[in-house]
Structure 1
Amino acid sequence: MPSQGDALQQARADYDQHMGSCRQCHVDTVPCPVAKHLLRLYNNARRTAAR
């Protein structure tokens, strides 16, 4: 079972990878819905790891 630190790192990596590869996020200044969702997952993992 992955630890909370692993989940946090994976969520951040997923978000960074998406931001680097998504054409809409790269061109527009407004993140796409997928980027918003991935950022929400990262923030939730960060809050969980802080507890």
Structure 2
Amino acid sequence: MSSQSDALQRARTDYEHHMRTCRQCHADTVPCAVAKHLLRLYNNARRTAAHP
């Protein structure tokens, strides 16, 4: 179970870090392709953690 919560926390941290540091995400109102991919990974990890 801790590996799922670790994966969820890591995915969230990666997404938030990217959003803070990516020049394109800051300049545009639309997230870049990497941000979309990281958000998809975070959402998948969240769904996996919600269903044991």
User: Which bin holds the TM-score, normalised by the shorter protein?
Assistant: over 0.9
| Cα distance in 2, alignment partners of residues 25 and 10 from structure 1 | 20
- Summarize the alignment of residues 34-49 of structure 1 with structure 2, pairs less than 5 Å apart: 34-49=34-49
| Cα distance in 2, alignment partners of residues 37 and 3 from structure 1 | 21
> For residue 32 of structure 2, what is the amino acid of its counterpart?
C
Q: Which runs of 5+ in 2 are unaligned?
A: none
Partner of 1:9: 9
Partner of 1:19: 19
Structure 1 residue runs of 4 or more that deviate by more than 4 Å after TM superposition:
none
Q: Which runs of 5+ in 1 are unaligned?
A: none
> For residue 28 of structure 1, what is the amino acid of its counterpart?
D
Tell me by how many angstroms 1:27 deviates.
1.0
> For residue 34 of structure 1, what is the amino acid of its counterpart?
V
TM-score (norm 1): 0.95
TM-score (norm 2): 0.93
RMSD: 0.9
